[in-house]
Amino acid sequence: MSSTSSLILKLSPLALPYLALFCGGVFLTVCQSFGLLTPLPYPGGMVDAYLELLTDSSFFASFVFSLGVAAVSAASAVTIGTLLAYRIWKLPGRLATVALVYKIPLVLPHIAVAFVVLVFWSQSGILASAAHQLGLIRSMTEFPNVLYSGWGIGMILAYTLKGTPFAMLLVMAMLVRFDARQIQTADMLGASGLRIFFSVVLPRLAPAMHTGFIILFLYSFGAFDIPYILSESRPGMLSIQVYNLYFKHDLARRPEAMAILTIMFGFAVLFIVAYSKVVRRLEDGVRKL
Amino acid sequence: MKHLVTLLVLAMLFVLPVVVLMLIGLAPGWRFPHVWPDEFSPQAIAYLVRNHERILTSLSSSLLFSMLTVLATLPMCLIPAAVFARVDFPGKALVEGLLLTPALVPPMTFAMGLHYVFIKLSLTETMLGVVIMLAMFSYPYMFRALVAGFQSMGEDYRMCARNLGAGPLAIMLKVELPLLIPAVIAGGSVVFLVAFSEYFLVFLIGGGSVDSFTGTLFPLLSSSNRSLAAVLTLIFLFLPIALFVIMDTTLLRLYRKMQMI
């Protein structure tokens, strides 16, 4: 057996399901977006679903809204996560064990994290009660309407709470291999704490932060669970729009749902490629210095 | 002092929610503007005991399909991971990137395309269908962990076993797999958590027939019975932790017995 065919054979346990289910699934989504292979024959033209979407301003609003929620939540999760991971890394051994509580939201499902946000931030929630106790507000309507502001703040809070420990996990894995003597050297050479963090530590952690950002950003961009509990009416997340088109309308609108999914898929792939290109270019630049 | 601030932030972010959930679970009548419940009542626990059958069914169903997902991803990834750790071939980085995409792109994008085929193949509303779908987007975590495991194991054990006359199957089962257990557990834990906490895909493929704990919890989250929702959420938290602790201690004992450490 030649080495190529043996290679293909050895990869097949993963390659076959990948091609059949993942590629096949995406292929079927794309086909159905063109009105092909739909459960019922689709009377419209091939690109009708896309034309429908492109002329629909609410689709653009949802797209931009999903992007915004995903970008803000992923950026804050990575920022907070990196800072906390660094602080935990500096803790003495015994305290570092206590710090393992950070893994709690990792175990909680997304819908449970959404519930936590609901309990804390609603106008009759814990924070409103605390504000009342402190005399900051007199009735619950005076508490800012965080969850229904129209800015997706509730979803951002939930994704950030769920994403922070994930970013911490990735960054901690980098920190384990980080040589503390580099910090001591910088310290001896007179660098301030801030300077050490930004010039010595952060560049080493950057790969983990980039990975974390890509994963968290794309997850929040396309996931369904948290928006289903915390979403406001308009503009909604794209996943909710797909859900409504798929389950709450008749089969004639199926291609529209699939067209949104196709656009989401295309965007996700483009984002991964473009982001890794930019990061590689930035790192090349750093190396030349 | 600085450490105290760190610990305080961690407690506020990650421990306080759990404490509040416990209080809500014990005090159904806790409402604005009280920062501490007026009275406690075991109402939610009583409800839990009354409905223990329904809750246990959904819990065991969730545990079952999550375990099966872990068991499905292991044979999928084992040999390919060994190849990726050891063999260099043209286009390797690209293939690896492609194989990791199912965990990155929104799972809806391929799951909904497959949905219609699953209906045709009568895979919807079955445990098998749910496991296939869950395995399809959670396997990258197992794959990454196994590649790292193979890399840190190196080639020496395999060479040694081969020189002593072991065949490929014996090497895999008796030498490499036991050494890979930490990697399998690392990857398997993530796969388990991803499967166990998934709501949408189980709902899409499993329909009403495959019970899931998330499916039981979901309608309660927006209902007025916050107390019960809080208690179920806590089960969600402590059950996997308990499982991980049990697994860790058993393994430690096993390793001691085998005198591997």
In chain B, which residues have their Cβ closer than 8 Å to the Cβ of A29? 109-110, 112-113
Q: Is residue A202 part of a domain?
A: yes
> Which residues in chain B have their CB less than 8 angstroms from residue A232's CB?
none
CA distance A179 to A62: 45
Q: What pLDDT is attached to residue A286?
A: 60
- Residues A164, A285: one domain? no
Measured between CB atoms, which of B24, B112, B237 is closest to A104? B237
Q: Tokens 């990869």 appear where?
A: A11
| Residue-range definition of the domain harbouring residue A256 | 26-55+249-289
For residue A116, the domain's CATH number is 1.10.3720.10
pLDDT in tens, A170-214: 998 888 888 888 888 988 998 888 888 888 889 889 989 999 999
**For chain A, what is the largest distance between any 2 Cα atoms, rounded to a whole number of angstroms?**
80
Query: CB–CB of B146/B186 below 8 Å?
Result: no
Residue A31 lies in a domain: yes
Distance from CA of A26 to the nearest CA of B (A): 5
Instruction: For residues A37 and A129, state if they share a domain.
Output: no
pLDDT of residue B31 exceeding 50: yes
User: Do the chains contact at A107 and B117, CB–CB below 8 Å?
Assistant: no
A74 lies in a domain? yes
Judge whether A222 and A264 are in contact, CB under 8 Å: yes
- A140 falls within a domain: yes
Confidence at A24, pLDDT banded by 50, 70, 90: very high
Partners of residue A84 in chain B, C-beta under 8 Å: 6, 9-10
Q: For residues A228 and A263, state if they share a domain.
A: no
Give residues with Cβ within 8 angstroms of A69, minimum separation 6: A152, A155, A156, A159, A220, A221, A237
Mean confidence (pLDDT) of chain B: 88
> Number of CB pairs < 8 Å for A and B?
230
Co-location of A79 and A34 in the same domain: no
Interval B136-190: pLDDT, tens: 989 999 999 999 999 988 888 888 998 998 888 888 888 888 889 889 998 999 9
Contacts of B157 (CB under 8 A, 6+ apart): B175, B176, B179
Residues A188 and A263 placed together within one structural domain of the fold: no
Read off the pLDDT of residues A77-119 as tens digits, 9 standing for 90 and up: 999 999 999 999 888 878 878 888 888 888 888 999 999 998 8
> What confidence score (pLDDT) does residue B72 get?
96
Do A157 and A78 lie in a common domain? yes
Q: Is the complex ipTM more than 0.90?
A: no
Distance CA A121, CA B20 (A): 13
Alpha carbon separation from A188 to A183, A185, A196, B132, B206 (Å, rounded):
9, 5, 11, 56, 61
Domains and CATH numbers, chain B: 54-222 (1.10.3720.10)
Evaluate if residue B126 carries a pLDDT over 60. Answer: yes
Q: How many domains does chain A have?
A: 2
For residue A65, is it within any domain? no
Residue A142 has pLDDT above 70, yes or no: yes
- For residue A289, the model assigns a pLDDT of 45
B215's CB contacts (< 8 A; 6+ apart) are B58, B199, B202, B203, B206
DSSP symbols for B172-240: IIIIIHHHHHHHHHHHHHHHHHHHHH--HHHHHHHTTTS--HHHHHHHHHTSS-HHHHHHHHHHHHHHH
Among A81, A118, A57, A75, residue whose Cα is nearest residue A213:
A75
Residue at A198 is within a domain: yes
* Amino acid letter, A85: A
Residues A203 and A274 in one domain: no
The overall average pLDDT reported for chain A is 87
pLDDT at residue number A285:
63
The answer on A284 and A179 residing in a single domain is no
Question: For position A73, what pLDDT does the model report?
Answer: 97
Contacts of B82 in chain A (CB under 8 A): 10
Confirm whether A16 is domain-assigned.
Answer: no
Q: Tell me, what's the pLDDT at B30?
A: 77
Do A179 and A263 fall into the same domain? no
Identify the domain boundary among A193, A212, A235: A235
Is residue A83 domain-shared with residue A144, that is, in the same domain? yes
Whether A242 maps to a domain, the answer reads no
pLDDT band at A1 (very low <50, low <70, confident <90, very high): low
Q: Are A214 and A93 found together in one domain?
A: yes
Q: Are residues A106 and A197 in the same domain?
A: yes
Instruction: Note the pLDDT tens digit of each residue in B49-81.
Output: 888 888 889 999 999 999 999 999 999 999 999
